[in-house]
Amino acid sequence: MHDNSAMTGLPPSGKLLGLDLGTKTIGVAISDGMRYSATPLETIQRTKFTADAARLLELIVENDAVAFVIGLPLNMDGSEGPRVQSTRAFARNLSQKTPLPMLFWDERLSTSAVTRMLIEADTRRDKRAEVVDKLAASYILQGFLDRLRINP
């Protein structure tokens, strides 16, 4: 997912929403308008698709976002497993509710990297669970933003 075709359809400016789709939660992050930095926004407790999508659509409006960057949970060898298929299905369903572009970004190390950071920062386990998803979304989005600056 690290090629220029991933950037097609991306408006030249505007805030981006980063998503880390888990089975129980959706971590959400937002970029600034200049697309330099990603900030954790919130963690959505997943219920059913219509409710999850409705909250994401509200976040688009509230934050004036122009596109989604969705973490793609590839296997460590780069192959696609069932989680990738469910992520793509979620994106397909969401694309029927909004015209915003949806870009995928390799998220293989995001959750483990964020968890390691939190452990090093000595965050209590119960607190880690609350923040890891939105931090993972922020990590995914920041990786995408960094690539945009290097290779727009």
Condensed to tens digits (0 to 9), the pLDDT of residues 4-49 reads: 344 567 888 999 999 999 889 999 999 999 999 999 999 999 999 9
| Least confident stretch, 25-29, 56-60, 113-117 | 113-117
Name residue, tokens 């293989």.
108
Six-digit token string for 42: 């919130």
Q: What one-character DSSP code corresponds to residue 46?
A: P
Does the pTM exceed 0.85? no
- Residue 139 has a pLDDT of 80
Q: How far is CA 16 from the centre of its chain?
A: 9
pLDDT at 152 over 80: no
The CATH class of 13-150 is alpha beta
Rg (CA), the chain: 15
Six-digit token string for 52: 């999850």
Q: How far is CA 2 from the centre of its chain?
A: 15
Handedness of CA 50, 20, 99, 35 (dihedral sign): positive
- Residue 5 has a pLDDT of 40
pLDDT at 83 over 90: no
- Residue 113 has a pLDDT of 60
